[in-house]
Structure 1
């Protein structure tokens, strides 16, 4: 975001220009007549869409289009669960977003007239609109959390505010989306889940598939219980005796992919991912205290480490965070301040821009969405982050995440 001055008539002709400044939400205040405007040069790709009702949770569905895709236009598949006004209006959306366009952007324009020329589409042809295809399956109650199995992406687990955990097979919907190019949504269909478990004593949010053992599932509720699901002959056996180790709500859990251990946390932590967690106080912390810093002023709602291919930076150190302060931030915890590099960069810029003095790991700040709920890196498209909020979804590819586009 950049600051923009406008007079009351909406024209900036008579307003003197100000030196560019990194504007920090929660730190800097907008003056009268100022507004924030999106700087499109900060993104290699940015798209917004919605599927009707807001979605608290979604997941990226892995596909067969390529393990590491760097060329535009992109195609993504996702599943998402709605938060409708009435319980009976809820559904799970299975959708495909295709023809996601992007551009190349030079970091520093080479001359005064090159600002516009430095932006170029991936194709010489005129860009076509992004195409959204949506199929809906009726769901009992709001969807608190939804997760697709990595090994069999057509198998999806959902947590409902009714207290039920359900497992679905959406292969027919995904196949139909793959074969169709038409824009639009289908009518809501009624489909029976493979399993509907009502053994939890309360609703919950914690759910995760095992990356080591296909089909093994864990679900945790707000009454401190965690259940283990074991796959067997096309269905699941669920242990009648839950794991009980917490005295408060299990808000999130995640399997550690190199082993069979489980990471869980109680109510004062909203979300976790291995080696870091987000607290309700707005702090980001790594478990082994690699770093501890405060930035967000409101609760952390989602946090996720980048896949190994996401950047030329050390991918194990890059993390994306969303917060109810309406910010999505991307951090590289391996970065340290380099004053010589900063001075060299400033010398190339037409305007002198001073970086914040206390945030060297901060790579990117994305704004514009209201009440952010969840984010995910796309596991097959380097540099792509998808986020959901009360006003819909955003797909973004920051321009400073290197190798997000082909060289």
Structure 2
């Protein structure tokens, strides 16, 4: 969670609290005065037993208690989103005791879309310092648009927080425990002449079993083109010193030119090994591009049509190879089957009265779908409830909206990203335009006693686990191989893992 601290002022004055004047120059050798004699021969108790009023006339205990209260008032306080307000001069700083890992890394230009690349370092890694690979597209200023690029990155030296306990007893033997080491960001740049709106990575098995998988990226650009690159040599170069990336390796292996307007919706099918890509644009059209047996790509010129406004998000079903869902500015989520010759949605559900910006399909419980809209509301839907009415409905007909199984009006700005935990179907990460990334546990239910304890916390749902501050928060992704680790992007990259997840 974040804590707020008052801005420190530079004190001016003779002495600061805790400082003492220089000792007086007293000649201890002069003992001519001899010993002091008490003519009344009063008896005094030892010093540690004397109970007297302090220098201000009050008992020491009373004065010390008041001083302790004054210290508490200046100490950092917990910042609760929706309840606490920052005063002028106050800023948010992370509470290190709530993180197992926390690092912020900057790139030459902000990268408002990125994806995590699976590596060959093993699954369920708990050893520190951690290493991870990502790919991102930059958002350079329009005046310097030629500075845009795709960044293939390696994050290493990601140490745990000092004092954080290992959650895996086996990891302590291999843990180098470099808590004070600095993280390292290495990158290879692929020049572009356009901003990247959305980028996604896909891995396909190499024809040579002894080699790592081929890693492809699809970048939906502001120029309306979708650029597909093979970044396999870029990733390999991090672990092979002296490797030089050739200009030919920086060129796209395919450029999809089917779109007549720019777009933001991109997704690779997780069930089509060779590579099957969906892209959606601001005209509401969705195109499918498939990799052929020969390694080339073919784009079907017949678009999927049904949305009445921009397609903001596309997600393939994690369990059915021919099914995908799309979210749109028209407030609907539509479910499609690529085998349909009509290229029309099988189901359409009005899930919001405003733009639906993002969506996530649960990998663990595949009838659950999460959505996030422009009003800051995110919700969870049970797709089993999305059925035509008793009288039947034609394919593509918008159905009467069922109630979501969960809905949270916590964020007060647009939802910019939502993603289910890769192995826990109750945990969801959400980022929003209020500069926060939040973690949620849908399994939390309060009993009567717990409700009393939280009655004073207004507008904070009990399912809210954690709030992470991220300036210009745009996308957040769970790392699929490092349990509980997240990467978020905005003004900079934030890599973190909380104590609670």
Q: Where on the TM-score scale, by shorter chain, does this alignment land: which range?
A: 0.7 to 0.9
Structure 1 stretches lacking a partner, 5+ long: 108-120, 309-314, 347-351, 402-407
Q: 2:227 aligns with which of 166, 177, 183?
A: 166
Pair 106,126 (structure 1): closer, same or farther in 2 beyond 3 Å: closer
Cα distance in structure 2, aligned partners of 1:73 and 1:328: 23
* 1:376 matched residue in structure 2: 477
Structure 2 stretches lacking a partner, 5+ long: 18-66, 167-173, 205-212, 330-354, 362-368, 383-403
CA displacement 1:325-366 (0-9 Å, x = unmatched): 0010000111112465799xx9xxxxx997667411001100
Once the two structures are TM-superposed, the CA of residue 271 in structure 1 deviates from its matched residue by 0.9
TM-score between the two structures when normalised by the length of structure 2: 0.68
* 1:405 matched residue in structure 2: none
Alignment partner of 1:265 is 2:327: yes
Pair 372,161 (structure 1): closer, same or farther in 2 beyond 3 Å: same
Give the conservation status (yes or no) of the 8 Å contact 1:320–1:329.
yes
Pair 124,394 (structure 1): closer, same or farther in 2 beyond 3 Å: closer
CA displacement 1:140-160 (0-9 Å, x = unmatched): 200011110044561111111
Once the two structures are TM-superposed, the CA of residue 70 in structure 1 deviates from its matched residue by 1.0
Cα distance in structure 1, aligned partners of 2:278 and 2:92: 42
User: How many residues are treated as equivalent by the alignment?
Assistant: 371
Once the two structures are TM-superposed, the CA of residue 16 in structure 1 deviates from its matched residue by 4.0
Give the conservation status (yes or no) of the 8 Å contact 1:91–1:188.
no
Give the conservation status (yes or no) of the 8 Å contact 2:410–2:460.
no
Cα distance in structure 2, aligned partners of 1:102 and 1:188: 38
Pair 7,133 (structure 1): closer, same or farther in 2 beyond 3 Å: closer
Cα distance in structure 2, aligned partners of 1:334 and 1:279: 22
* 1:117 matched residue in structure 2: none
Alignment partner of 1:218 is 2:278: yes
Once the two structures are TM-superposed, the CA of residue 21 in structure 1 deviates from its matched residue by 6.0
Q: 1:361 aligns with which of 440, 445, 463?
A: 463
Once the two structures are TM-superposed, the CA of residue 181 in structure 1 deviates from its matched residue by 10
Q: Secondary structure of 1:240's match?
A: coil
- Name the structure, 1 or 2, with higher relative contact order (CA <8 Å, separation 6+): 1
Cα distance in structure 2, aligned partners of 1:124 and 1:246: 52
Give the conservation status (yes or no) of the 8 Å contact 2:285–2:304.
yes
Once the two structures are TM-superposed, the CA of residue 399 in structure 1 deviates from its matched residue by 1.0
Cα distance in structure 2, aligned partners of 1:244 and 1:395: 38
CA displacement 1:148-197 (0-9 Å, x = unmatched): 00445611111110000011111111110133499xx9999972211011
* 1:27 matched residue in structure 2: 83
Once the two structures are TM-superposed, the CA of residue 30 in structure 1 deviates from its matched residue by 2.2
Give the conservation status (yes or no) of the 8 Å contact 1:225–1:250.
yes
Q: 2:370 aligns with which of 276, 285, 297?
A: 276
Give the conservation status (yes or no) of the 8 Å contact 2:284–2:305.
yes
Pair 153,76 (structure 1): closer, same or farther in 2 beyond 3 Å: farther
* 2:189 matched residue in structure 1: 136
* 1:349 matched residue in structure 2: none
The correspondence of residues 257-406 of structure 1 with structure 2, limited to 5 A, is 257-259=318-320, 260-267=322-329, 268-274=355-361, 275-288=369-382, 289-308=404-423, 315-338=424-447, 358-367=460-469, 369-389=470-490, 391-401=491-501
Pair 354,68 (structure 1): closer, same or farther in 2 beyond 3 Å: farther
Which 10-residue stretch deviates more, 11-20 or 216-225?
11-20
* 1:157 matched residue in structure 2: 218
Once the two structures are TM-superposed, the CA of residue 28 in structure 1 deviates from its matched residue by 2.2
Query: Higher strand share goes to which structure?
Result: 1
CA displacement 1:277-321 (0-9 Å, x = unmatched): 10000001012322112100000001100110xxxxxx1011000
Cα distance in structure 1, aligned partners of 2:150 and 2:178: 35
Instruction: Compute the RMSD of aligned alpha carbons.
Output: 3.1
Alignment partner of 1:198 is 2:257: yes
TM-score between the two structures when normalised by the length of structure 1: 0.83
* 1:17 matched residue in structure 2: 72
Cα distance in structure 1, aligned partners of 2:434 and 2:485: 22
* 1:230 matched residue in structure 2: 290
